[in-house]
Amino acid sequence: MTTLNWPNRMTVVRIALIAPFVVCLLSLGDPRWSDTARRAALGIFAVMAVTDGLDGFLARRLRCETPLGRFLDPIADKLLVLCAVVLLAHETTSVPDCILPGFVLVAAIGKDLLVVVGFCIVYIITSRACICPRRLGKLCTTAQLAMVVAVLLRPDLPPLLRWLPAVCWWIATGLAIAAAVDYFRFGQRFVAAAIQTQTTT
């Protein structure tokens, strides 16, 4: 039986922290708890960000990178981003005066849906699992996480910086579209190479 190493354990903890993070976001619409819930969400998010960086560092430093870790790490980020954008784009669970536009939600969900469907199609065609993080995908996730922080921080920002969340969500949306195109092209090349290998053997 395979035991979890420390980087994988930290990733599992990060996934578990999504639940209290979501609970905090669900309380944003209650005027009695809005500010407290928003700051608690930021605190939980900060812990998750630290563990995200730390588990990658430990995996490389201890040379204990595993297929499970390569699978769980992006799953944790995707779950966090999707939960955040869905709730922050809904009127009853959004930050006051800073609701995420619908196109941000569509771009985030659409990109991840394309990746999941593409993964399944590639596996069906080639019988090979292709888990290969792309640079644009990583940039997109980073931008989306920065967007979530900017939206949660907006009520505390000085007037001169109130535009920051909007800039972040436009950048995140553009990167989501670019990453979706990049994943699609990579999937095409992967399938073509696999088919060519099969025909020459």
Other CB atoms within 10 A of residue 170 CB: 15
What is the model's pLDDT at position 199? 75
Query: Is 0.85 topped by the overall pTM?
Result: yes
What are the boundaries of each domain within the chain? 6-200
Extract the tokens encoding 91.
Answer: 């009127």
Highest mean pLDDT out of 2-11, 86-95, 118-127: 86-95
**Helix/strand/coil percent split, the chain, to 5:** 80, 0, 20
pLDDT in tens, 11-38: 888 999 999 999 999 998 888 888 999 9
What proportion of the chain, given as a percentage, has pLDDT over 70? 98
Other CB atoms within 10 A of residue 159 CB: 6
pLDDT in tens, 73-118: 888 888 999 999 999 999 889 998 899 999 999 999 999 999 889 8
Q: At what angle do helices 135-153 and 102-126 cross, to 10 degrees?
A: 150
Q: How far is CA 200 from CA 22, 122, 128, 188, 197, in A?
A: 51, 19, 17, 18, 5
Count of all residues that appear for the chain in the document: 201
User: Which of the following CATH numbers is that of domain 6-200: 3.30.390.30, 2.30.31.70, 1.20.120.1760, 2.120.10.80?
Assistant: 1.20.120.1760
The residue ranges of DSSP E strands in the chain, in sequence order, are none
